[in-house]
């Protein structure tokens, strides 16, 4: 998370977690409660931070640790994590290595939305049932990564879509070696860049025609793997957003 207020708030805390509602008293049970009790070994009196996944967060103290649960009492008012602008969404072509590591790493870099995309040269071919299961897993990964890096927002993971569905996006950017650097990329009118990262073999001629003359973004001097390119994009645009004048 960013900002001096949040940095000060997390000093002395031992865990960051997500809860359904930032009430004065919260009970965390289920898998999260088990993890906090058995793995993190939280004890009464320890301080934690909790967020609702939409940008609101609060400081708590552990009040009780009954079997399978952790009871939290609020120790401060609800606060809001500043939104980064421009925000960044990634449209990611399906790859044979999967998107688990990409989603985890790019969540740490501040990506707000992931959109898995079927491309002509994608080696992976998911049927509807496999696609739904994969998206459900990616949502868990995004949530866990957001907790690990102490974000107050959990990135959205959209259902798998066809690449052609992106054609109408106003602020679509294509990751491409022939593009401009992050510093030269025009700011999106909508406030969010959606950057398309193609599959291992790149986009085919028809896909390039469908996408049309969209801005191109280049990251690095060399050909990047489909797993590396999204992280490079996220890092470059995160730095661009950080340096943006207030």
Instruction: Classify each residue of 137-151 as buried b or exposed e, where b means 16 or more C-beta atoms within 10 Å of its C-beta.
Output: ebbebbbbbbbeebb
**Tell me: the pLDDT tens digits for 83-127?**
888 999 999 999 888 899 999 999 999 999 999 999 888 878 888
Q: Within this chain, do residues 46 and 97 fall inside the same structural domain, yes or no?
A: no
Query: Confidence band (pLDDT; 50, 70, 90) for 42?
Result: confident
Contact 223, 195 (CB under 8 A): no
54 and 91 co-located in one domain:
no
Average pLDDT over residues 20-42: 89
The two beta strands, 79-80 and 56-64, are antiparallel
- 56, 80, 104 - which closes a domain: 80
Burial (Cβ within 10 Å: 0-12, 13-18, ≥19) of residue 185: buried
pLDDT value at residue 73? 97
- pLDDT number for residue 121: 84
Per the structure, the complete domain to which residue 186 belongs is given by 87-242
The number of domains in the chain is: 2
């Amino acid at each position: 998370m960013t900002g001096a207020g949040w940095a000060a708030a997390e000093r002395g805390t031992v865990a960051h977690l997500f809860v359904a509602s930032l009430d004065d008293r919260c009970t965390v049970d289920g898998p999260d409660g088990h993890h906090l009790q058995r793995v993190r070994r939280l004890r009464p009196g320890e301080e934690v931070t909790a967020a609702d996944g939409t940008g609101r967060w609060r400081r708590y103290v552990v009040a009780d640790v009954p079997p399978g649960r952790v009871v939290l009492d609020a120790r401060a008012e609800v606060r809001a994590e500043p939104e980064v602008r421009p925000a960044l969404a990634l449209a990611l072509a399906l790859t044979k290595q999967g998107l688990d590591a990409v989603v985890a790493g790019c969540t740490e870099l501040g990506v707000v939305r992931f959109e898995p995309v079927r491309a002509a040269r994608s080696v992976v071919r998911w049927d509807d049932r496999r696609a739904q299961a994969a998206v459900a897993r990616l949502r868990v990964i995004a949530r866990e990564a957001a907790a690990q890096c102490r974000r107050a927002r959990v990135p959205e993971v959209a259902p798998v879509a066809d690449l052609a569905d992106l054609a109408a996006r106003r602020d679509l950017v294509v990751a491409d070696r022939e593009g401009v650097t992050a510093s030269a990329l025009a700011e999106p009118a909508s406030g969010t860049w959606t950057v398309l990262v193609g599959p291992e073999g790149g986009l085919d001629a028809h896909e390039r025609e469908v996408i049309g003359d969209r801005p191109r973004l280049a990251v690095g001097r060399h050909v990047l793997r489909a797993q590396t390119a999204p992280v490079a994009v996220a890092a470059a645009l995160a730095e661009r957003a950080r340096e943006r004048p207030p």
